């Protein structure tokens, strides 16, 4: 998708399907409703990094998206990283406690406070 100059902007587990026999090793991305070109077709330049409206799913989106900045390829990749950590941690991310409780503040604030070392503290480092 990125090689075609588009970003997904709504990366979440529900938007991926796994093929069945004989394509059991194929993963399909679906739901391109929030997708957008990140390269301006007229100028060939990357879209401007500026404030915009929020797009995506709060649980998995990048910090950049939460802070309402225009998204790029790195934001899709950060969302994939959040999904992988979510799956590794049995369906938990540190900012999920704020999704249904005002006690912890907003998921955006908690996500912005969470650094990579904290987020990945239980994830094994590859050898």
Selecting among 5, 10, 117, 122, the annotated active-site residue is 10
**pLDDT recorded at residue 97:** 80
pTM > 0.85: yes
CA–CA distance, 105 with 86 (Å, rounded to integer): 20
**pLDDT recorded at residue 106:** 80
**pLDDT recorded at residue 124:** 84
**pLDDT recorded at residue 17:** 96
Is residue 5 within 8 A of residue 39, CB to CB? The reply is yes
CA–CA distance, 114 with 59 (Å, rounded to integer): 13
State yes or no: is 122 an active-site residue.
no
Per-residue pLDDT tens digits for 62-79: 999 989 999 999 999 999
* H/E run at residue 28: strand 27-29
Q: Is 67 helix (H, G, I), strand (E, B) or coil?
A: coil
Cα 72 to the center of its chain, rounded Å: 11
Tokens of 114: 């969470």
Domains of the chain with CATH codes: 2-119 (1.10.510.10)
Max Cα separation, the chain? 48
Q: Average pLDDT by consecutive 10-residue portion of the chain (127 residues)?
A: 96 96 94 95 91 92 93 96 93 84 73 88 77
């Amino acid at each position: 998708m990125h090689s075609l100059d588009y970003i997904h902007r709504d990366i979440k587990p529900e938007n991926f399907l796994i093929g069945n026999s004989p394509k059991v090793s194929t993963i399909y991305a679906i739901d391109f409703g929030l997708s957008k070109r990140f390269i301006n077709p007229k100028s060939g330049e990357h879209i401007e990094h500026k404030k915009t409206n929020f797009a995506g799913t709060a649980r998995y989106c990048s910090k950049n998206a939460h802070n309402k900045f225009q998204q790029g390829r790195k934001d899709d990749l950060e969302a994939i990283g959040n999904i992988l950590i979510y799956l590794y941690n049995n369906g938990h991310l540190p900012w999920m406690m704020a999704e249904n409780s005002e006690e912890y503040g907003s998921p955006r604030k908690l996500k912005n406070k969470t650094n990579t070392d904290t987020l990945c503290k239980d994830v094994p480092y590859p050898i």
